[in-house]
Amino acid sequence: MMKKFFPLLCLLLLPLLAQAQLRLPGVFSDGMVLQRGKPAAVWGTADPGARVTVQFARQTVRTHAAADGSWQVALAPMEASMEPRILTVRSGRERREYRDVLVGEVWLASGQSNMEFNMGPVWRSGSTNKVDRPARGENIQEIELRKADLPQLRVLLVEKVLNTDSLPTRGWRHIDTRTLPEISAAAYFFAKNLIDSLQVPVGILETCWGGTRIESWTPLEAYREDPAFSAGLQGGSYDGEPVGRRYDHMVREMAPYTLRGMIWYQGESNLIAGNTGKYAAMQALLVRSWRAAWGEEFPFYFVQIAPYLYSQRRTDPSVSDWTTLPQFWEQQERSLDLIPQAAMVQVNDLVDNLSDIHPTYKWELGRRLALQALRGVYGRPDLVADGPRLLRAAADGSVVTLEFDQPLATADGKAPRHFTLAQAGGGFQPISEVKIEGNKVLISNSRVRTPVEVRYGWDEAAVTNLCNPQGLPARQFRVRLPFEKK
Is there a domain that residue 12 lies in? no
Q: What is the pLDDT of residues 44-103, one digit of tens each?
A: 999 999 999 999 999 999 999 999 999 999 999 999 999 999 999 999 999 999 999 999
Residue 16 has pLDDT above 80, yes or no: no
Same domain, 167 and 303: yes
Which of 17-31, 275-289, 354-368 has the least mean pLDDT?
Answer: 17-31
Predicted confidence at residue 120, as pLDDT, reads 87
Say whether both 136 and 74 belong to one domain: no
Asked whether residue 132 falls in the same domain as residue 213, the answer is yes
Q: Is residue 5 part of a domain?
A: no
Query: What is the number of domains present in the chain?
Result: 3
Residue 378: closest CA among 101, 82, 150, 37: 37
What's the pLDDT at 109? 98
pLDDT tens digits, 378-431: 999 999 999 999 999 999 999 999 999 999 999 999 999 999 999 988 889 999
Instruction: Check pLDDT > 90 for residue 479.
Output: yes
Instruction: Give 302-348 pLDDT, tens digit per residue.
Output: 999 999 999 999 888 888 999 999 999 999 999 999 999 999 999 99
39-60 residue pLDDT tens: 999 999 999 999 999 999 999 9
Q: Residue 12: its pLDDT value, please?
A: 45
Examine the domain organization and report whether 140 and 175 are in the same domain. Answer: yes
Span 182-208, average pLDDT: 98
| CATH code, 479 | 2.60.40
Q: What is the mean pLDDT of the chain?
A: 93
Q: Same domain for 348 and 445?
A: no
In the predicted model, is pLDDT for residue 19 greater than 70?
Answer: no
- Whether residue 349 is contained in a domain is answered as yes
- Beta strand pairing status for 342-345 and 300-303? parallel
The answer on 454 and 307 residing in a single domain is no
383-420 exposure pattern, b = at least 16 Cβ within 10 A, e = fewer: eebbbbebebbebeebebbbbbebebbbbeeeebbbbb
User: Tell me, what's the pLDDT at 121?
Assistant: 67
- Is the same domain home to 324 and 183? yes
**Residues 230, 361 share a domain:** yes
Residue 156 in this model has a pLDDT that exceeds 70: yes
What's the average model confidence in pLDDT over 2-31? 65
315, 354: one domain: yes
| 144-153 pLDDT tens trace | 998 888 999 9
CA 226-231-235 angle, to 5 degrees, is: 105
The domain boundary residue, chosen from 102, 122, 148 = 102
Return the CATH number at 94: 2.60.40.10
Q: What is the pTM of this model?
A: 0.94
Band of pLDDT at residue 131, cut at 50, 70 and 90 = low
In a domain, 10, yes or no: no
**Whether residues 89 and 176 fall in one domain:** no
**CA quadruple 381, 382, 383, 385: dihedral sign:** positive
Range of the domain at 406: 390-484
Same domain, 414 and 351: no
pLDDT computed for residue 129 by the predictor: 47
In a domain, 208, yes or no: yes
Banded model confidence at residue 123, pLDDT cuts 50, 70, 90: low
Q: Is residue 81 part of a domain?
A: yes
Same domain, 204 and 215: yes
How large a percentage of the chain has pLDDT more than 70?
A: 93
Q: Residue 115 maps to which CATH number?
A: 3.40.50.1110
Q: With respect to residue 8, please indicate whether it lies within any of the assigned structural domains.
A: no
Angle at the Cα of 163 from the Cα atoms of 159 and 169, rounded to 5 degrees:
25
Residue 57 is assigned to a structural domain of this protein: yes
**How high is the pLDDT of residue 483?**
98
Q: Which residues, 6 or more positions from 63, have their beta carbon under 8 angstroms from its beta carbon? A: 51, 52, 71, 72, 73
